[in-house]
Structure 1
Amino acid sequence: MTFDNNTPRTFTRSTSKRMLGGVCGGIAEYFGIDVNIVRAAAVVASFITGGTAILLYLALWVIIPE
């Protein structure tokens, strides 16, 4: 089996599906899932980790290009 397009996908923040920084929208676009699922998972993760997920979100906001 061969693929015509072997270029890797780039991971960027979303410019269209953003609420705050576009990190959740970028994750949703990269994996092809609904952005609301990613946002809900981020909220649940922030409660489960005691706020560490919020720090991870902020770090991704700074690191991931737009």
Structure 2
Amino acid sequence: MESPTAEDVIEAFTDVVQDQLDTGNAVEVPGLGAFSVEHRPSGVQEEDGVRRLAPPRNEVVFTPEEGA
């Protein structure tokens, strides 16, 4: 059996992080920081004098570990 490539490891890591975030769990990576999902409510945005309603959404947020 061959050792996994760096690409394989990164793909597996991102799959796990995405699965956890999809279920509402935060993911902490020691020495790096934490990934979490924050809900953003709908609101009015103005651009070039045009006002638009931005839909509610969930955003992935990364918080670096202190001293990392």
- Scaled by the length of structure 2, the TM-score of the pair is 0.31
Q: As a proportion of its length, which structure holds more strand? A: 2
Q: As a proportion of its length, which structure holds more helix? A: 1
- Scaled by the length of structure 1, the TM-score of the pair is 0.32
